Amino acid sequence: MEHCKVDVLVIGAGPSGLMLCTWLARLGIKTRLIDKRHNRINSGQADGLQSRTFEILDSMGIGQDIWREANHMLEIRFWNPDKDNRLYRSDMIVDTMPGISRFQQATLHQARIEDYLLKYIGQYSDIAVEYGKMPESLHIDAENAENDEEFPISVTIRQLTSEANGIPNGITNGSHIPNGIFRSNLTADNTDSILAAAKANVASHTETIHAKYVVGCDGAHSWTRRQIECVLEGEQTDFIWGVLDIVPITDFPDIRYRCAIHSASGSMMIIPRENKYVRLYIQVSEVTEDGQPLDRSMINQDTLLRSAQMILAPYELTYKHCHWWTAYRIGQRVGSKFSAHDRIFLAGDAVHTHSPKAGQGMNISMHDTYNLGWKLAHVIKGQSSRSLLATYTSERRQIAQELINFDHRFSQLFSGRPSKDLLDEEGIDPRTFKDVFEKGNLFASGTAVDYTTNLIVAKDPEHQADVLTYKQNYKAPFLGRPVESIPCILTGKQYLARRIPIGMRMPSYKVLNQSDARPWHLQELLSANGTWRVIVFAGDLLDPAQFARYVALGKSLDSSGSFLHKYTPKSAPIDSVFEVLTVHSAPRASIELLSLPAVFHPYNEEYGWDYSKVFVDDISYHEGHGHAYENYGVDHRTGCMVALRPDQYVSWIGELEDLPDLERFFGAFMKAQR
């Protein structure tokens, strides 16, 4: 039997596994990535992309391409039955709340997102998906779990032969069209039977991988989850919904808008997609037309179309092109734990499942591993202590809980019947529905994520999520039960930047490069390269007193004992662990870059001065004024200092004199370098 040592073994090459590998590839972590499927799946599955997901993809340099390829959803239209049960357009609202992000909710086929992630991974590493490989045993040497040098996990993986892979060929329920019914929660978990079939095949090959870390991104039927004795907690309902991806031929007037339709014959959601496609979420009746209980094996594209036609009547609907279909039972469940020994982690559908209608699944799954990947890499590279890893569970468990609370409410409203009149208390009132939808859109954008205090979120535990106007306006509507986490050793000064909430992702406004006047959205400067960032809002540098504060900060930063020098390897570029960016508020033309302290635009013997670190809040020639100081709630004169995590979340805020606090903050989990 073969043996192999790797830093990280990733099980499952869907969006969460691939997003994890983008970090591991970018930061040079030795990784293997296995998937039990024999090929890429090229139809169906997820399609919704939130604002925050685009920001994340943009931090990797692939967001703009995906944004242009995707179908943008701008407006939601509501349809309800009138008193004579005739469908009418009752309302229309904006989809993504204006102003919360550079990007709005959009749709693009999961396979295309995976294409982009795979291309990115290939650019930075030789990590490739090993298809047709499935883990069959896992052992962890718990005694060595805290030893940084060890590879305490052993996983035996088996090469599946294509005959024995047990994955249906897509011919299901009499349908010849690719569908997801075999992966759906209407169908039993077939993991064991796949493995049994593979073991019975004498030609089947095994290999043992010794890993420092294992991440189970292996979906709702996660094998990894069972190995760490995690169970999904939550409830299933009896509501069954179908999904149909078609190019619709219809006289329904709003087929290219996102629609929420409540009709006397059931509910439907319309999600317009790229390339003329439209996804229909269709409520499936529990009983057949003659009152018999529904035989689930009868669900296919024809029965789904008939249900959609009934809901949409008197409008007509048919198609010539169907790309995919599936059906699922609505339920919300969260894993009882997210990791074992902070060595084995679960992410994505492996640890939270819910209904797909709000377009959250692929997003939250990718966000899980966008959160985990840099932390794993920093620990493996010896930059940070293992204590950093515990923040994965506390942060992502909180989000998973919020997600299922949101989905629970959202699905209930959607699956209920419309109210007949004001006295009909069991029915869903259109106004309530619209209200929930509107508030839910902020949660659904992904930009409202607000991590509670922990090792790397220096937030006041007494004033979580309440003091700031920003948060009051933009708060997720369905807070989950609080997750216990160890508070940060100190508290940032939130009042210095009222609209840069600690624990949330850095909002983005345009600033200009001091050296060439080019406007950049601040987030564009925060690329996913693994560095922490300190943004120095230097204030009005024309004011001599303020300039002196900035110079003094520069001197402290550049002293040999500062965190900058302590945690950056001597042989590495000075911006490889922390990148210090300046945004000042003096007029651009009044400031000379080379008159600023060198630490803010470091000199390199090969490339000269660095012209990419100093920015200004001033008007651009062609793209207006970003008004960054005003939008961030930072004082124009005196500024402040903001520490950002490699994933763009805000860790800490302080005065220009608060470097000692920042030293303590980093000292709590970073390791001194030589």
Closest separation between CB of residue 440 and a copy of itself, Å?
17
Which pair of structure tokens corresponds to residue 26? Answer: 């970018």
Of the pair 495, 607, the CB lying nearest a copy of itself is at 607
Cα distance between the two ends of the chain: 40
Of the pair 250, 263, the CB lying nearest a copy of itself is at 250
Residue 99 CB coordination number (10 Å): 8
Which pair of structure tokens corresponds to residue 9? Answer: 């073994």
**Short-list 19, 54, 18, CA closest to 446:** 54
Closest separation between CB of residue 306 and a copy of itself, Å?
19
Closest separation between CB of residue 441 and a copy of itself, Å?
12
Alpha helices in 462-540 (DSSP H): 469-474
Phi/psi at 350 (5° precision): -60, -20
Beta-bridged to residue 132, according to DSSP, are: none
Looking at 131, 281, 451, 632, which residue is catalytic? 281
Closest separation between CB of residue 246 and a copy of itself, Å?
10
Of the pair 207, 274, the CB lying nearest a copy of itself is at 274
Sign of CA dihedral 426, 431, 437, 440: negative
Residue 247 and residue 320 in contact, taking contact as beta carbons nearer than 8 Å: yes
Of the pair 272, 430, the CB lying nearest a copy of itself is at 272
Closest separation between CB of residue 123 and a copy of itself, Å?
14
Looking at 258, 273, 343, 396, which residue is catalytic? 273
Q: d(Cα 400, Cα 394) in Å, to the nearest integer?
A: 10
Cβ-defined contacts of 599-604 (< 8 Å, 24+): 599/554, 599/557, 599/558, 599/564, 600/536, 600/554, 602/574, 602/575, 604/573
Of the pair 72, 475, the CB lying nearest a copy of itself is at 72
**Footprint on this chain of a copy of itself (rule: CB under 8 A):** 64-65, 68, 71-75, 92, 94-96, 98, 104, 247-251, 253, 255-257, 272, 276, 320-321, 513, 515-518, 589, 592-594, 605-609, 611, 620-622
Burial of 41 (0-12, 13-18, 19+ CB in 10 A): middle
Closest separation between CB of residue 588 and a copy of itself, Å?
9
Residue 521 and residue 509 in contact, taking contact as beta carbons nearer than 8 Å: yes
Of the pair 470, 609, the CB lying nearest a copy of itself is at 609
Sign of CA dihedral 639, 644, 649, 651: negative
Residue 542 CB coordination number (10 Å): 13
SS3 23: helix
Give the DSSP H/E element, type plus range, for residue 76. Answer: strand 75-81
Looking at 7, 47, 368, 618, which residue is catalytic? 47
Q: Does the annotation mark 273 as catalytic?
A: yes
CA dihedral (519, 495, 547, 664) in degrees, to 10, reads -100
Q: How many CA atoms lie within 13 A of 198 on its CB side?
A: 25
Of the pair 256, 625, the CB lying nearest a copy of itself is at 256
Q: Does the annotation mark 356 as catalytic?
A: yes
Q: Does the annotation mark 409 as catalytic?
A: no
Residues with Cβ within 8 Å of residue 557, at least 6 apart in sequence: 564, 580, 599, 659
Of the pair 317, 358, the CB lying nearest a copy of itself is at 317
Closest separation between CB of residue 106 and a copy of itself, Å?
10
Looking at 81, 248, 272, 356, which residue is catalytic? 356
Closest separation between CB of residue 72 and a copy of itself, Å?
5
The catalytic residues are 47, 273, 281, 356
